[in-house]
Amino acid sequence: MSRERILAEIRRSLKRREALDENVRRGIEARNADIHPHVQPAYDEDLVERLVRKHRDLHGSVEPIDTALHIVNAVIAYLRDNDLPQRLVAADRAPVKDLPWGDGVTCEHRPARGDDAVALSVADAAIAETGTIVVVSSPDSPMTHNYLPEHHIVVVPVSVVVRWQEDVWRILRKRPDFPPRGIAMISGPSKTADVEQTIEYGAHGPRNVHLLLLGDGQARGA
Amino acid sequence: MTVAQSSKAFKVRSRRALLDNDLREALGRARGGFVEQRRAAFEALPEFEALRDAANEIREHTLSHLDYYLERYAANVEINGGTVHWASTAEDMNRIVVDICRRAGAKLVTKGKSMVSEETDLHHALKAAGIERMETDLGEYIIQLADEPPSHIIAPAVHKTRAQITELFHANHARFGIEGRAEDRTAIVAEARRVLREAFLSADVGITGANFLIAETGSNIIVTNEGNGDLTSCLPKVHIVTAGIEKVIPTLEDLSVFLRLLGRSATGQEMSAYSTLYSGPARPGDSDGPAEYHVVLLDNGRSTMLGNEFHEMLRCIRCGACLNHCPVYSHIGGHAYGWVYSGPMGSVLTPLFKGLEESYDLPNACTLNGRCQEVCPMRIPLPSLLRRLRQRQVEAKITPARQRLALSMWSRLAARPRVYRFVTNLSMRSMAWLGRRRGALRYLPAGRGWTRGRDMPAPEGATFMTRWRRRGEQDT
Ligand code: SF4
């Protein structure tokens, strides 16, 4: 009822009696089928270098690692350096799925709870343009990992680093679950400027976003 | 008890005076910061003008086929497993939201920043239904405790000092077992985190706004720095998105254009910390996420605005740049505008939503310096829209004779820049004092005869929007 009333009022304001005629509709559909980016900021910095620089500017930290075997050691060192308990929640997908954590560390694959201090995720993409990490939700990758724990460690394979935001849309459209339920674009840690207009980190979400930049075993080029 | 009484009065007076300085200081700081950061962000972006062109083209394209895009968006939300509700009026929206909450047996709802729920006064509807609401944006939470409306759309508690926040927390957080006072910034933020985390985890329903709705995917996007919008979206078993019908855009590529403008215009950030697209409820196999996902599309006069001389206002992306660059706003703060939308965009929107009589002064509290239009990423001709509103006021004859005289004197004065500047400078300083009052501006600078004669014209009963609609009917 409200729906019809609103649509009728819109059409009246647009000086149209009916829904669109076929020609106009086809024109609109053509516009939206012809997928291309509009205006993108030009830059010629190396993609990975820019990602790292931008992410650090956003108050995040980065640690390069050579292979997936180094994830365990890097995480354990991070927990130790930050005085954190030796436990975490992690995505249930490669390359963080079946890692040899050893006896001292508890790693669970489940959604985050209010008292989890650390989550370990895998980036589906990373946008060099703005230093943004993209994590897509799925049964293996719960959304709560991105927002509840105080520390968010994200494995970013260099192969997922893209130049612009629109590259992410291009990649995601190929997924069978497109559009996924959640597409998290994360640009640095949680922050607020609501007290004295001065930035404090760790407002509701992570105080730190720590990237484990996972090399592809090859010499790096742009 | 005369001593006690007078000291009480003294306290009130001195607190007011203090507040006044605090307010000016805070506004100055926010303004300086936002203005400077915005400038730096756009200086580093040679594509700024091209992005503005693209954004305007997208918005105009969408608005001129708004029926098509809304239907397409709604169809895709349903494919994702969500439910779309259409609300013609503010009351419709509140009723829909309260019904969903009731069906969910909700006792507590968390809210991410949502302008439209302020617009519809959802708070009171929830309260009347016995449902507790917790604002989760730190600024919104602070003013909820203070029982005040937001004073800035990006920084809602910009007028509150640290000491005031400390006291508010102390007075309200005993029930959470928190005894001491959080004095410094870090302690304040940590205490808010602790209290609000409990709310996030125990809320039955989460209500957020939407910065955009994407027709292609049936998604809403929510942009925040704190992550409160995401915790509100992810944790409760029911997620309700409230959004004006003008928020829809066609595709993800179109979204990227707006995201490049939004953060930079608002706070000078290339990207806010969290920009998240949500498409429906939890999927089979998901281990978290809401069981229900609802969208309430609010019209509340927008569809009428689409066809009249104020349709450009529908391009607004609520970035707040026009507020930050407005000399009037930065002297008096948001509360003086008397409603949820403030600054130049509020001076246009409030009379359109609330009626010309109720907000008589807003279109007139403008120096027509044009800064707002220059910085507006959507190139909305705010000064022209304000002029049109003034003209409507005169046409609608809601201004007593003396006001019209003063208005014409004002415009004659405004035609002489040097004299005008001198006079407005004087009055700006007094406006800081006036701005402390809640409610609309009752006194205007350099127009005393005009405001004194004006006090409270009898409302005619019909709002501007409804009169416009009638007018439109006569015209066709
Ligand atoms: S009118 Fe323009 S500058 Fe003001 S909030 Fe809207 S988009 Fe931003």
Three-state SS for chain A is CHHHHHHHHHHHHCCCCCCCCHHHHHHHHHHHHCCCCCCCCCCCCCHHHHHHHHHHHCCCEEEEECCHHHHHHHHHHHHHHCCCCCEEEECCCCCCCCCCCCCCCEEECCCCCCCCCEEEEECCEEECCCCEEEEECECCECCHHHHCCCEEEEEEEHHHEECCHHHHHHHHCCCCCCCCCEEEEECCCCEECCCCCCCEECCCCCCEEEEEEECCCCCCCC
Q: What confidence tier does A83 reach under pLDDT thresholds 50, 70, 90?
A: very high
Counting Cβ atoms within 10 Å, is residue A33 exposed (0-12), middle (13-18) or buried (19+)? exposed
- Ligand 1 centroid from CA B322, angstroms: 5
pLDDT digits 0-9 by tens, B141-188: 998 998 887 777 777 888 888 899 999 999 999 988 898 899 899 999
Q: How far is Cα A75 from Cα A65, in angstroms, rounded to an integer? A: 11
Which chain B residues have a beta carbon less than 8 Å from that of A148? 231
Mean of pLDDT over chain B:
81
| Dist. CA B220–CA B79, nearest whole Å | 14
**Shortest-distance atom of ligand 1 to CA B345:** 1
Question: DSSP states of B56-67 as a string?
Answer: HHHHHHHHHTHH
pLDDT at position B172 is 93
Q: Token pair of B256, please?
A: 């990227």
Q: Tell whether the model's pLDDT for residue B422 goes beyond 80.
A: no
Whether the per-residue pLDDT at A126 is higher than 80: the answer is: yes
Q: For A11-43, how does the pLDDT look when each residue is reduced to its tens digit (9 = 90+)?
A: 999 998 777 888 999 999 999 999 999 999 999
Residue nearest to atom 6 of ligand 1 (CA): B316
Q: With contacts defined as CB-CB under 8 Å, which chain A residues touch B197?
A: 114, 204
| CB contact at 8 A, B293 and B278 | yes
Is there a contact between A150 and A83 (Cβ–Cβ < 8 Å)? Answer: no
User: Mean of the pLDDT values across residues B446-464?
Assistant: 35
- Is residue A186's pLDDT more than 70? yes
pLDDT value at residue B423: 45
B148 in contact with A, Cβ within 8 Å:
no
First to last CA, chain A: 56
Q: Which of B158, B225, B250 sits opposite A191 (nearest CB)?
A: B225
Range with the largest mean pLDDT of A110-114, A213-217, B14-18, B464-468:
A110-114
- Cβ–ligand 1 distance for B376 under 6 Å, the answer yes
Rounded average pLDDT over B131-144: 92
Beta carbons of B317 and B248 less than 8 angstroms apart: no
Q: For residue B380, with 0-12 CB atoms within 10 Å meaning exposed, 13-18 middle and 19 or more buried, which class applies?
A: buried
Average pLDDT of the residues in B364-381 = 91
Q: Amino acid identity, residue B223? A: V
CB–CB of B276/A168 below 8 Å?
Answer: no
Does the pLDDT of residue B451 top 80, yes or no?
Answer: no
Contact A19 B67 (CB under 8 A): yes
Contact B378, B52 (CB under 8 A): yes
DSSP of B203-216: -SEEEE--SEEETT
Beta bridge partners of A208: A151
Residue B449 has pLDDT above 50, yes or no: no
Give just the sign of the alpha carbon dihedral A133, A138, A140, A144: positive
* pLDDT value, residue B20: 59
- Split at pLDDT 50, 70, 90, the class of B30 is low
The residue whose C-alpha atom lies closest to atom 8 belonging to ligand 1 is: B319
Pocket test for ligand 1, best of B265, B311, B371, B379 (most atoms within 8 A of CB): B265
Best residue among B264, B265, B322 to mutate for probing ligand 1's pocket (most ligand atoms within 8 Å of CB) is B322
B218, pLDDT greater than 80: yes
The whole-angstrom distance between A132's CA and the closest CA on chain B is 8
**For ligand 1, atom 2, which residue shows the shortest CA distance?**
B376
Which of B416, B412, B367, B413 minimizes the C-alpha distance to B387?
A: B367
Better-predicted residue by pLDDT, B272 or B444 = B272
The helix/strand/coil state of B424 is helix
- Locate B101 and state its tokens: 């909450």
Q: B187-201, B347-361, B439-453 — which is least confidently predicted?
A: B439-453
Q: Tell me the C-alpha distance between A161 and A49, whole Å.
A: 10
Q: Tell me which chain B residues have a C-beta less than 8 angstroms from the C-beta of A112.
A: 288
Angle between helix B66-79 and helix B48-64 axes, rounded to 10 deg: 90
Atom of ligand 1 nearest to the CA of B315: 7
- B393 sits in which H/E element: helix B382-395
Contact B307 A42 (CB under 8 A): no
Please list every residue in chain B whose beta carbon sits closer than 8 Å to the beta carbon of residue A191. 225-226, 273
pLDDT (mean) for B228-248: 97
The closest residue, in CA terms, to atom 7 on ligand 1 is B316
Q: Which residues neighbour A80 within 8 Å (Cβ) at sequence distance 6 or greater?
A: none
Architecture of domain A44-214: 3-Layer(aba) Sandwich (3.40)
Contact B256 A190 (CB under 8 A): no
In angstroms, the separation between the Cα of residue A217 and the nearest Cα of chain B is: 31
- Residue B332: which region, alpha, beta or left (left: phi > 0; alpha: psi -120 to 50)? alpha
pLDDT exceeds 60 at position B426: no
Would the CB atoms of B158 and A197 count as touching at under 8 Å?
yes
CA angle B59, B261, B232 (to 5 degrees): 90
- All structural domains of chain B, each given as residue ranges with its CATH number in brackets, are 45-303 (3.40.50.10420), 415-475 (no CATH)
Q: From the CA of B316, how far away is ligand 1's center (Å)?
A: 5
The verdict on B253 touching A (C-beta cutoff 8 Å) is: yes
pLDDT in tens, B307-317: 999 999 999 99
Nearest chain B residue to A194 by CA distance is: B139
B-chain residue closest to A188, CA distance: B273
Q: How far is CA B184 from CA B32, B164, B370, in A?
A: 23, 12, 39
Backbone region of residue A91 per phi and psi (left: phi > 0; alpha: psi in -120 to 50; beta: other values):
beta
- What span, in angstroms and rounded, lies between the C-alpha atoms of B348 and B313? 8
| pLDDT score for B361 | 77
Please, which pLDDT band fits residue A217 given cuts at 50, 70 and 90? low
Cα–Cα dist B297/B284, whole Å: 26
Amino acid at the residue B374: E
> Phi first, then psi: what are they for A151, rounded to 5°?
-130, 130
**Portions of chain A given CATH number 3.40.50.10420:** 44-214
Cβ atoms B48, B270 nearer than 8 A: no
Interface test with A, best of B89, B193, B221, B248 (most A CBs within 10 A): B193
Please give the pLDDT value at position B136.
94
Q: Is the pLDDT of residue B406 over 50?
A: no
Distances (CA, A) of B353 to A71, B186, B258: 55, 39, 25
DSSP class per residue in B126-155: HHHTT-EEEE-SHHHHHHHHHT---SSSSS
ipTM: 0.96
Q: Cα dist. B395→A13, B346, B353, B423, B441 in Å? A: 22, 21, 18, 28, 22
Q: Is B321 in the pocket of ligand 1 (CB under 6 A)?
A: yes
Distance CA B157, CA B144 (A): 10
> In this model, does residue B375 exceed pLDDT 60?
yes
Average confidence score pLDDT of chain A: 94
Q: How many CB pairs under 8 A join A and B?
A: 256
All residues of chain A having their beta carbon less than 8 Å from the beta carbon of residue B45 are 41
Chain B residues close to A130, C-beta within 8 Å: 270-271
Taking the C-alpha atoms of residue A64 and residue A212, their distance in angstroms, rounded to an integer, is: 6
Q: Is B201:B169 a contact under the CB 8 Å cutoff?
A: no
Mean pLDDT of B81-88: 98
